[in-house]
C-alpha cells in the first residue's frame, strides 16, 4: 500500500484516524495481495490502486456522514469494501460483513484476527435470506459498494435497516437514471432517497455517486423476495 497516498487522501477528505490505523491498512493491503494469488478477490492489486480505489474510495462517504457509534452492515462486502475501511477509520462502530461466498468470509475473518478488530461479525449467507431472519431491521446503517442495479440493490439492503436508519449505496458517477428507476421500489421498501451526492474521488479523475436513502417505515413482510424475482425487477427497473 502507498501510505503517502492514503495520508493525502484522508487529508483531502478531512478524515482523522487513530494512530494504529495506518499500519492496519498496510497489513490489510498485504493480506489482500497474498490471498488474491489463491482466489479472485480484486482486479486492483497495485499499491497505488489499493490506497486510492479501495481504501480512499471506501471512505468517501465519511466526508458526508457520521457513522461513529453506529451499527453497520456491509451487504455483498466482497474483499471487505467499504465495511472494513469504515471500521479502521471509525473503530467504535459495530460492523457486520455479509457475503454469499464462504472463501471471502474466511479471508475477512483472517483480516479481522490479524488486525485485532473487535465487534466485527463475518457472515456467510445470501442477503435475501438473512434479511428475513435474525438480521432483519437490525442496523442503523446498511452500506453496499456492490455492482447490482440500484433497484435490486435496494431490495437486498433496505430490509436490514431499522426505521430511522439509512442505506448508503456507492455507485458510479453516471447512476442518475438508475436511481430514478429505483425510486418506486425504494418507496415500497419503506425508504426515501434523501440525498444524491456527486463526489470526486481524491487523487483521481473519478467521480462517485453516493446515494443516501432514509428508512422512514418498516419494510413490508413480502420483502425481500427471492433472488430470481429481485434480479428480474432489477433488469426491468421496477
Query: pLDDT digit string (tens) for 129-157?
Result: 999 999 999 999 999 998 789 999 999 99
Percent of residues, the chain, with pLDDT higher than 70: 98
Q: Which H or E element spans position 87?
A: helix 83-89
Mean pLDDT of 224-233: 92
Instruction: Write the CB contacts of 69 (distance below 8 Å, at least 6 apart in sequence).
Output: 92, 93
Check: CB of residue 13 under 8 Å from CB of residue 202: yes
Q: Which of these, 15, 94, 17, lies nearest to 62 by C-alpha position?
A: 15
Could you read off the pLDDT of 24-80 as tens digits, one per residue? 999 999 999 999 999 999 999 999 999 999 999 999 999 999 999 999 999 999 999
pLDDT given at position 147? 79
Instruction: Write the CB contacts of 45 (distance below 8 Å, at least 6 apart in sequence).
Output: 32, 33, 36
Q: Which of these, 207, 206, 210, 205, lies nearest to 194 by C-alpha position?
A: 210
pLDDT, averaged across the chain: 96
pLDDT band at 236 (very low <50, low <70, confident <90, very high): low
pLDDT band at 192 (very low <50, low <70, confident <90, very high): very high
Q: Which of these, 90, 127, 123, 128, lies nearest to 108 by C-alpha position?
A: 123
pLDDT given at position 235? 66
Full residue range of the structural domain in which residue 43 is found:
3-236
pLDDT given at position 185? 97
Check: CB of residue 95 under 8 Å from CB of residue 163: no
d(CA 216, CA 142): 14
pLDDT given at position 31? 98
Query: How many domains is the chain partitioned into structurally?
Result: 1
Q: Which of these, 101, 64, 49, lies nearest to 80 by C-alpha position?
A: 101
Question: Residue 218's domain is classified under what CATH number?
Answer: 3.40.50.150
Could you read off the pLDDT of 81-126 as tens digits, one per residue? 999 999 999 999 999 999 999 999 999 999 999 999 999 999 999 9
Residue 118, exposed/middle/buried by CB under 10 A (0-12, 13-18, 19+)? exposed
Check: CB of residue 108 under 8 Å from CB of residue 100: no
DSSP state of 225: -
Amino acid at each position: 500500500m502507498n501510505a503517502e497516498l492514503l495520508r493525502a487522501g484522508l487529508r483531502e477528505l478531512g478524515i482523522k484516524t487513530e494512530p494504529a490505523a495506518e499500519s492496519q491498512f498496510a497489513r490489510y493491503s498485504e493480506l489482500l495481495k497474498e490471498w488474491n494469488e489463491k482466489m479472485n478477490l480484486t482486479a486492483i492489486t497495485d499499491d497505488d490502486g489499493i490506497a486510492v480505489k479501495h481504501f480512499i474510495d471506501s471512505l468517501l462517504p465519511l466526508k458526508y456522514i457520521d457513522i461513529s457509534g453506529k451499527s453497520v452492515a456491509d451487504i455483498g462486502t466482497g474483499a471487505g469494501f467499504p465495511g472494513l475501511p469504515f471500521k479502521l477509520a471509525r473503530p467504535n462502530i459495530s460492523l457486520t460483513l455479509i457475503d454469499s461466498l464462504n472463501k471471502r468470509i474466511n479471508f475477512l475473518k483472517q483480516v479481522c484476527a490479524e488486525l485485532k478488530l473487535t465487534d466485527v461479525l463475518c457472515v456467510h449467507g445470501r442477503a435475501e435470506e438473512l434479511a428475513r431472519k435474525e438480521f432483519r431491521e437490525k442496523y442503523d446503517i446498511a452500506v453496499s459498494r456492490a455492482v447490482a442495479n440500484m433497484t435490486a440493490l435496494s431490495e437486498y439492503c433496505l430490509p436490514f435497516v431499522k426505521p430511522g436508519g439509512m442505506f448508503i449505496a456507492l455507485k458510479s458517477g453516471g447512476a442518475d437514471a438508475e436511481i430514478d428507476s429505483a425510486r418506486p421500489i425504494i418507496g415500497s421498501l419503506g425508504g426515501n432517497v434523501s440525498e444524491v451526492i456527486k463526489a470526486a474521488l481524491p487523487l483521481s479523475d473519478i467521480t462517485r455517486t453516493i446515494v443516501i436513502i432514509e428508512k422512514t417505515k418498516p419494510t413490508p413482510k413480502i420483502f425481500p423476495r427471492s433472488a430470481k424475482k429481485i434480479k428480474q425487477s432489477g433488469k426491468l427497473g421496477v
